[in-house]
Structure 1
């Protein structure tokens, strides 16, 4: 994963988020604040969630915008937020690791596959949730080939 896609500024550890909407706004807000997306992208992330949940299993959700949101993406980036106490994504799905994605063109597909590889292992997800430093998070995603 190239260095400017996931930086320390894109990672927030040990957050407490009360609702799914708050969680999505939070990860989207990081992407917006770091200049990856226009603010309108956050609403598209919420719309996407209404269409179909971005909960992936293993306590992981990957909020991202709708197809129509692509014009609001300025450059490809991801944000990572850990919520050790969990946030309810509905249907009994508790999310402790949020990964917000903004992809230019098809660039996000490669990112998604890297995330899927890391997050398919429960122990990796646990390590990410328990990470005490942003470096640990970056390290885990950069080891994927």
Structure 2
């Protein structure tokens, strides 16, 4: 994965959220805070979730915006937000959200790289259980 996609400030490892919407908002806020997206992108992430769940299995969700939200993306980026106590994601417990912002087809290689990591049980577990930003950066960058 390109090393310019993950700002260490967008790695949040001890968050909590009462529900899926709050978890997605926290991911969106992380992307806003590092200057990757404009504020309206957060609503586009919620709209995407209403259309199709971004849960991918193994306690991981990959929230991202809709195709119409591309103009709200300033640069391709990801955030990694860990919810140690879990969040109910339509009946599935999610402990790790990887939020994505990508212009054009930039999300395709991002999703492929994430899939490779998440399909490796040891690497996926490392991400789900990470307590240090450096652990996340080592796996993703």
Q: TM-score, normalised by structure 1?
A: 0.93
- In the alignment, structure 1 residue 110 sits paired with structure 2 residue 109: yes
SS at match of 1:74: coil
In 2, Cα distance between equivalents of 1:125 and 1:96: 11
Gaps of 5+ in 2: none
In 1, Cα distance between equivalents of 2:32 and 2:15: 18
Identify which range, 49-58 or 103-112, moves more after superposition. 103-112
The answer for the alignment partner of 1:12 in structure 2 is 12
Aligned-residue CA RMSD (Å): 1.0
In 2, Cα distance between equivalents of 1:85 and 1:110: 30
Matched length:
141
In 2, Cα distance between equivalents of 1:3 and 1:102: 15
**Aligned 8 A contact 1:97 1:125 in 2:** no
Alignment of 1:58-137 (within 5 A): 58-90=58-90, 92-137=91-136
Identify which range, 119-128 or 2-11, moves more after superposition. 119-128
- In the alignment, structure 1 residue 37 sits paired with structure 2 residue 41: no
SS at match of 2:69: helix
The answer for the alignment partner of 1:139 in structure 2 is 138
SS at match of 2:6: coil
Shift of 1:122: 2.8
SS at match of 1:78: strand
SS at match of 2:84: strand
The answer for the alignment partner of 1:57 in structure 2 is 57
In 2, Cα distance between equivalents of 1:131 and 1:14: 9
Identify which range, 69-78 or 2-11, moves more after superposition. 2-11
In 2, Cα distance between equivalents of 1:124 and 1:96: 15
**Aligned 8 A contact 2:7 2:34 in 1:** no
SS at match of 2:65: coil
In 2, Cα distance between equivalents of 1:35 and 1:111: 18
Gaps of 5+ in 1: none
SS at match of 1:101: strand
Shift of 1:68: 0.5
